[in-house]
Chains A and B, each alone.
Chain A
Amino acid sequence: MAEKTLHDGRWALTGAALDRLLERLDADRETAAARYEELRARLRALFEWWGAQDASALADRALDRLAVKLLEGTEIGATQLAAYVRSVAQHVLFEWRREESRQEKAVRDVPLNEPVTEDELAALDRCLERLEADDRKLILEYYEGTHKATRQRLAEKLGVTPTALRIRAHRLRQRLRDCVGKA
C-alpha cells in the first residue's frame, strides 16, 4: 500500500515516496538530489511557459505526484521518464486551471512603458563592474549589436558558434539579473 495522503485535493509527499523518486533518478543520493533540483527547475520553467503563475508550487506538485506513482509501483521505462513526467505535469496544469480558473488572470499588466530610472541604470552599472572585463565587454557588445550579421561577426571574433555566443550571453544575463535583483 502506497504511503500517500490527500490534503485539500493535493497529494502530499511522504518520506518513502521521496526516497523512491530519488532512487529512480540516480543510485547515488547526492547525484539524485542534484537531478531532482534540475528536474524541478525544468518543470518550473515548463509551467511558466505554459502560462501558469504558481510555477514553483505546480512543479512541486508534479514531482510529488510522480513520487507517489513510483511508490505505488507504476512501471516507467528507462527511456520514458521524461515523457511520463511531462504527462504528469500537464495533468497537474489541467487540474490547476480547473481548480482556480486562473488562466483568465494569466496576463497582467507589465511595466513595458515605464521609463528606466537612473537608479536602475546605476544598479546595473555596479553589477557590470563586478564582471570580468572580457565578460563585461561581451555582454555589452551582444546588446549593442543586435543585428544578425553583427552577432555572427562577434561569434567569429570570439571563435565560437552563434549558439555558443547566445548561451554565454544568457549566462551573463542571468548573473547580472541576479545581481541587480539583490542590489
Chain B
Amino acid sequence: MAVERFPNPDASLARQFLLGKLSAEASEQFETRLLEDAELFELVQAVEGDLLDELARGELAGDDRNAMVARASRRPGHARFAQVMTERAGTEKPQTFARIALIAIAALLVIVVGAVLMNRRQPQESPTRPPVVASTMQPAGTPEKVAAITLALASTRGAATPTNKLTLDPDTTRVAITIRLHPADRYARYDVALVGNAPVWRGTLTTDTNELMVSVPAASLQAGRYRIEVAGINGNDRDDLGEQELLITR
C-alpha cells in the first residue's frame, strides 16, 4: 500500500525513514542526501505532514502509529494542526480512546447477548462461527424488537468468508445492520445497498466513525440470502469498497 501511495521512490524512502523502517546503512545514506538535497528535504517534510494527517484520521496502527505518536510528541503544533485540518475538511476524526472504548463495550455487549440467546435457542450449533456479531435485542422501553448484526466489511474484502447469519424471531420488528469499514476507507459519503432477489434498501450515508448503520423493517427481509454492497464517494469519485453476504433465517 505504501508503494502504491508513493510511486515516487524518494517518497517511499521518506515514508520508511520516518517510520523507522530503513536499515542503519540506508538511513545514513538517506540522511546524508537530506543534508545536501533541498528537494528531498522538502519532500520528507511533506511526507511527514501526510503521515501526521494519517495519524489524525486514525489510519495508522501498530508500529507505524507508535512511530508517528512519538514524532507528534516532538511536533505538537504540527500534530494538532493535522487534527484541526482533518476536522475542517470533513475527513475522519481521530479515533479517541473514548470512542474506541464505546465501540468495544458495544461490541462486547452484542457478543454476550448474542451468545446467550443463540446458545439458548441453538445448543447444537456448529462450532464454526461466522465472522460476525449477531444478536436479537429488545430495546428497553420500546415496543420494537430489534435484531442486530455487525459485518466487518473491509477486513474480509477479497477473501472467501463464511456467510454471516442472522435469525429473526417471529416478533422481530426491525433489523439493524452495522457495517464496519476499513480505517483507511475514508469518504465524504457512502452508497450502501442491501440486495436480495431484488433491492431491499439503498441509501447514502455519512459517518464520523468506522461504522455505517442500516436499519430496515424485519418484514422486508424474508428468509434467504442477501448482499450488502458499499461504495465510498468523494465528490464525483466513487470507489467500490466491497460487499458481504448475509443469510437471514426465520
Contacts and interface: CB of A to CB of B under 8 A. Distances in A.
Contacts of B11: 163, 166
Interface in B1-45: 4-5, 7-8, 10-11, 17-18, 28, 31-36, 38, 41-45
A8 interface: no
B50 A82 contact: no
Given A49-B18, A166-B11, A166-B47, A108 B73 contact: yes
Contacts of B83: 112, 116
Interface in A26-76: 38-39, 42-43, 45-46, 48-49, 51-53, 55
Contacts of B188: 144
A112 B56 CA distance: 7
Nearest to B36: A82
A148 B54 CA distance: 12
Interface string A133-170: 00000001101111111100100000001110011011
Nearest to B48: A49
B239 A124 contact: no
Interface residues of A, number: 55
A112 B32 contact: no
Nearest to A49: B18
Contact of A177 (B71, B72, B81): B81
Interface in B177-215: 185-188
Interface of A, secondary structure class, is: helix
Contact of A109 (B41, B73, B81): B73
B31 A51 contact: no
Interface string B114-146: 000000000000000000000000000000000
What range describes how many residues of B lie at the interface? 35 or more
A85 interface: yes
Nearest to A168: B46
Given A110-B69, A113-B98, A180 B74 contact: no
B70 A51 contact: yes
A46 B239 contact: no
Considering residues A43, A53, A81, A112, which has the most beta carbons from chain B within 10 angstroms of its beta carbon? Answer: A112
A154 B210 CA distance: 25
A140 B74 contact: no
Interface stretch (B148-156, B157-165, B167-175, B230-238): B230-238
A7 B133 CA distance: 66
Contacts of A149: 237, 239
Contact of B38 (A38, A51, A162, A176): A38
B78 A143 contact: no
Contacts of B42: 167, 170
A6 interface: no
A173 interface: yes
Contacts of B186: 146-147
Contact of A170 (B5, B46, B86, B237): B46
13 contacts: A39-B35, A48-B75, A81-B36, A107-B73, A110-B69, A110-B76, A112-B55, A113-B98, A128-B88, A146-B57, A161-B8, A166-B43, A176-B81
Interface of A: 38-39, 42-43, 45-46, 48-49, 51-53, 55, 81-83, 85-86, 106-113, 115-116, 120-121, 124-125, 128, 140-141, 143-150, 153, 161-163, 166-167, 169-170, 173, 176-177, 180-181
- A-B pairs, 8 with minimum CB distance: A170-B46, A143-B89, A82-B36, A82-B35, A116-B87, A163-B8, A113-B96, A177-B81
Interface of B: 4-5, 7-8, 10-11, 17-18, 28, 31-36, 38, 41-47, 49-50, 53-57, 69-81, 83-91, 93-94, 96-98, 185-188, 232, 234-235, 237, 239
Given A86-B31, A116-B93, 13 more contacts: A42-B34, A52-B74, A82-B32, A106-B74, A107-B70, A110-B73, A113-B97, A113-B98, A121-B84, A121-B88, A144-B234, A163-B11, A163-B43
